[in-house]
């Protein structure tokens, strides 16, 4: 898996917290990058190995080096084809490295039942464990005052999969000078520099956006939690979420969500909790601005979000869940 102290993303946070909690449980767990994993597998070091989907391109080489047939699992945070082409992608439309990993892994680990079903549909034949992530944000969001307007937050590194640029374009077509709407985007600008530049350009070329949109760059989980509790709307324009950690955390602290109805987000977002699912970027922008133009409706949404809080789940619970499933599967005995 990638460096646990590297650029924060949902997958990296999941890996880091799961490894930490498993170590607290007394399990011998270590994080290896591909070169170190190749050495360990070539040497036949007994272990249960998991390969993060960010390293799909290394899976075949690691599989061929695994001459002693240690259990080789796929830590499936996502599939690139699902993000790029959506849920309708056929099994014969996968990239070669995706297809190879699905057909040759001994086990998979998914963060949601949604992703497990998608992996099975796309060719996974091995068992698949499901361990939902824990929550890193605690407390309760501030209730807005009548003068607050919408203080929206997007938690997204600026990459195509997060859909920030097309959402900003849709927003620019609908935003009025009178709209009480502010948007902070918390996420790294250096993961895909060209895409980040396109996002910045879209804002700079539309004066109403430039007055309301702030790019905060990459923030620590603690700072993201502070920003989330200070907001009163979480926006997700992600093309596909295998779980939706930011959405889940917003619902845990009582912030309503406006999101594209893609992936597991459909399961998380409920209208009873003041949240809205949209079918397109245009509809998502319209839903966000509807809150800005109707303060009473926005206040009701916040009240509903804080009345119907999502039950918090810790990563300690997630680690215990993982350990239980691995034990029940008999995988450890095969390592």
Question: For residue 124, what pLDDT is reported?
Answer: 96
Distance of CA 292 to the CA centre of its chain: 26
**Torsion sign, CA atoms 290, 291, 292, 296:** positive
Distance (Å, whole) CA 201 – CA 222: 29
Q: What are phi and psi of 144, to 5 degrees?
A: -70, 150
Boundaries of every domain in the chain: 10-134+314-334, 150-307
Residue 259 structure tokens: 């999101």
Return the residue matching tokens 């007055």: 211
**10-134+314-334: which CATH topology?**
Rossmann fold (3.40.50)
Residue with tokens 């790019």: 215
Note the pLDDT of residue 138.
Answer: 84
CA–CA separation, 263 and 88 (whole Å): 11
Record the pTM.
0.92
What is the CATH number that goes with domain 150-307?
Answer: 3.40.50.2000
**Consecutive sets of 10 residues in the chain, 335 residues long: mean pLDDT of each?**
80 93 94 93 93 95 94 94 87 93 96 96 95 90 76 96 97 94 96 96 94 94 93 96 95 96 95 96 98 94 94 95 92 72
Fold match between domain 10-134+314-334 and domain 150-307: yes
User: Reading across the β-sheet that carries 257-260, which strands appear in turn?
Assistant: 213-217, 181-186, 150-155, 233-236, 257-260, 276-278
């Amino acid at each position: 898996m990638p460096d646990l102290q590297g650029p924060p993303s949902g997958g990296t946070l999941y890996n880091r917290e799961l490894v930490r909690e498993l170590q607290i449980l007394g399990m011998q767990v270590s994080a290896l990058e591909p070169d170190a994993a190749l050495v360990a597998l070539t040497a036949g070091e007994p272990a249960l190995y998991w390969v993060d989907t960010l390293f799909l391109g290394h899976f075949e080489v690691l599989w061929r080096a695994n001459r002693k047939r240690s259990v080789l699992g796929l830590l499936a945070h996502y599939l690139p084809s699902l993000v790029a082409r959506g849920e309708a992608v056929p099994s014969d439309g996968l990239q070669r490295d995706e297809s190879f990993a699905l057909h040759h892994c001994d086990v998979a680990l998914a963060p949601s039942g949604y992703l497990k079903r998608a992996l099975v549909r796309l060719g996974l034949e091995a068992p698949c464990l499901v361990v939902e992530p824990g929550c890193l944000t605690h407390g309760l969001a501030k209730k807005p005052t009548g003068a607050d307007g919408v203080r929206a937050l997007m938690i997204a590194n600026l990459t195509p999969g997060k859909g920030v640029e097309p959402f900003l374009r849709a927003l620019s077509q609908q935003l009025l000078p009178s709209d009480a709407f502010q948007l902070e985007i918390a996420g790294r600008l250096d993961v895909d520099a060209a895409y980040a530049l396109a996002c910045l350009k879209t804002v700079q070329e539309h004066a109403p956006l430039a007055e309301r949109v702030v790019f905060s760059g990459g923030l620590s989980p603690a700072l993201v939690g502070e920003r989330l509790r200070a907001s009163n709307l979480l926006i997700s324009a992600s093309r596909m979420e295998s779980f939706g950690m930011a959405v889940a955390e917003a619902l845990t602290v009582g912030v309503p969500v406006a999101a594209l109805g893609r992936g597991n987000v459909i399961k998380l977002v409920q209208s009873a909790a003041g949240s809205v699912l949209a079918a397109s970027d245009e509809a998502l922008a319209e839903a966000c601005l509807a809150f800005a133009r109707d303060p009473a409706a926005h206040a009701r949404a916040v009240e509903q979000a804080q009345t119907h809080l999502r039950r918090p789940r810790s990563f300690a619970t997630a680690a215990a869940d993982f350990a239980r499933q691995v034990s029940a599967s008999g995988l450890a005995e095969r390592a």
